[in-house]
Structure 1
């Protein structure tokens, strides 16, 4: 058995950018929350994606939560959410006491289906906000989705946790809606070990989000709190890692693309394999190279064969409306998300992989067809 190959693990820069900024935090004793790294990480990330402002937070989940709060989502409100996503997209809806309604995917994008979304608007015209996800780095059909959201005058929150560095029609994902969120969890394209960012062109609301994220501490000599607060701010040390990682984002996207193209070239002609859709208007970050299988070889066969060789892989996300906690909530669609889950596999997409590693992976997979 060879060395472990991970699905997507942290990859620090070879140049040591991260250590430089972290060392500065130690040298200046700005270890506690806030400091130069936090301020500059916000500025640099906002500039990178073309947003007016950003708030560095403890996680992408925290960013979604504060975006919903900024959108005035309250108890009893309805929020539309893609069903094909990680639970972190949906959980903050519950934090606010709101009701999620789950929207199906389409095969063209694997993301929120505009047809299902329109049906949901007709059923729930009182909806307060729509969360859009750019799954696996693939952008959703933002023009169609935004047209519908504008027609019904609802807030758009883009969950771009998986798509930092990706573009829709030449514009960074995460910057189309009223609010965008990014994640720097350990498996993301760049990482701070754990953390997230809320971005928006509404600078006043980002300032408000920073206030909420710092326990809503009022300007006073004593500790005074006029609003409910949260302990959501990113630390200055963690932000230093993020600043260094941001410098190599372009390199990581290029490597992810090369991984996808290698798989497509080596496996794309095998019977029953279909890779995730890349549309002409989409320039993804290829976070996880994913495919679906239609035929005798099933996803579990691929995952078990890789596992036996010490290689990590994962199923496509299990839809939220099938999850025990969320299955009581409404679902709008035809079940395409379920088919993607049943037939989908995420292949190893670690940017530290060598060509030998990639060849080892495809050899294992090809062996399932030779049998």
Structure 2
């Protein structure tokens, strides 16, 4: 029996162990400490930001950013419908309402034209979105050249959801450098991990200070426990920050490994009519997940067929995100749709993409895909 090959397993080793042991021996086991401060500084520098606040998750960072920018009950926030639930959940935490906007068919990122349509529609009634959360889907940055001028025109605040895009760039600018604030995720399956964790990024010191204050239970700087605001237990621990510092040192090598996998998939599917790699024409993406989109009328098989074949070979795959407007929890939400996100969900598949996947496992994956493609297309 073979071991299962996971989609994007954590890539940790001796350097991470060294950093963790040093943090343990330092005595800074409590939530904050020197590793947190250093990690914030290093991530801010990597992303071209003045300030960074380490948080317990990317979701926590989104929540803090929305609150600090004044988003609350009665507000509308534009969210691409093709995303993980955390993006929309953070909007709900504030009491605001997410408006789900469809995506570009080539990238899966927020469609600027549909976002403009939403802003125009709302302006006729004297309203506007309080914010927009463009998501850098699967590691490819959103189209900020189109989105940012629209936001300036309509007075919409931008919070970049770069949870999947650390290490990517857009027109020479790092992911995480766009908007009033941006967020990263260091969940276990991300491009780099702190087990669980996230980061809020901003060039606005007041915003960063406010988020840091709220993330530590809004405790006042006095000897006793004094609270003027409702706060949150949202800080990253010193031990996890130490893990993140080690991962950051290895980030470029891990991205390079994922790109090798993506290039291999591109060669595998190059001769197959009806299969394309989603957003894979961007050389500046971090290749977090390589995803294909299948046209079953041209291939004679579906994404689900390939998934079943790989599952039988103990190789994990995953459908693309189920659009938020199709999730029961968000039924009845305001939407601006073209049908693209639903088609991507129905015909897309994410393939094993992790930098920790060993060479022997890569050969297993590629052999399994090649064997599937060689079968008669009568399925």
* Matched-pair contact (CA < 8 Å) for 1:109–1:141: no
Between the aligned partners of 2:260 and 2:278, the Cα distance in structure 1 is: 15
Deviation at 1:279, TM superposition (A): 4.5
TM-score (norm 2): 0.95
* Matched-pair contact (CA < 8 Å) for 2:269–2:276: no
Look up the match of 1:8: 8
Look up the match of 1:313: 317
Deviation at 1:352, TM superposition (A): 1.9
* Matched-pair contact (CA < 8 Å) for 1:216–1:228: yes
> Structure 2: which 5+ runs fail to align?
none
Between the aligned partners of 2:367 and 2:245, the Cα distance in structure 1 is: 37
Between the aligned partners of 2:319 and 2:352, the Cα distance in structure 1 is: 11
* Matched-pair contact (CA < 8 Å) for 1:21–1:37: no
Look up the match of 1:288: 289
> Does the residue aligned with 1:133 lie in a helix, a strand or coil?
coil
Look up the match of 2:332: 328
Structure 1 runs (4+) deviating above 6 angstroms are none
* Matched-pair contact (CA < 8 Å) for 2:258–2:288: yes
What does 1:209-228 align with in structure 2 at a 5 Å threshold? 209-228=211-230
Deviation at 1:356, TM superposition (A): 3.2
* Matched-pair contact (CA < 8 Å) for 1:139–1:163: yes
* Matched-pair contact (CA < 8 Å) for 1:267–1:362: no
One of 26, 32, 37 as aligned partner of 2:30: 32
> Does the residue aligned with 1:274 lie in a helix, a strand or coil?
strand
Q: Deviations 1:6-44 (Å, cap 9, x if unpaired)?
A: 10011114xx22222222222121101110000000001
Look up the match of 1:343: 347
> Structure 1: which 5+ runs fail to align?
none
Q: Deviations 1:321-364 (Å, cap 9, x if unpaired)?
A: 00000121011021101111111000001212233322322322
Between the aligned partners of 2:144 and 2:175, the Cα distance in structure 1 is: 9
CA RMSD across the alignment: 1.2
Q: Deviations 1:177-235 (Å, cap 9, x if unpaired)?
A: 11110000000010000000000011221111010000000122221111110000000
Asked if 1:174 corresponds to 2:176, the answer is: yes
Moved more, 314-323 or 169-178: 169-178
Look up the match of 1:194: 196
Between the aligned partners of 2:281 and 2:112, the Cα distance in structure 1 is: 16
Between the aligned partners of 1:323 and 1:8, the Cα distance in structure 2 is: 24
What does 1:229-308 align with in structure 2 at a 5 Å threshold? 229-279=231-281, 283-295=284-296, 296-308=300-312
Deviation at 1:154, TM superposition (A): 1.5
Between the aligned partners of 2:361 and 2:286, the Cα distance in structure 1 is: 21
One of 40, 51, 63 as aligned partner of 1:53: 51
* Matched-pair contact (CA < 8 Å) for 1:163–1:285: yes
* Matched-pair contact (CA < 8 Å) for 1:109–1:279: no
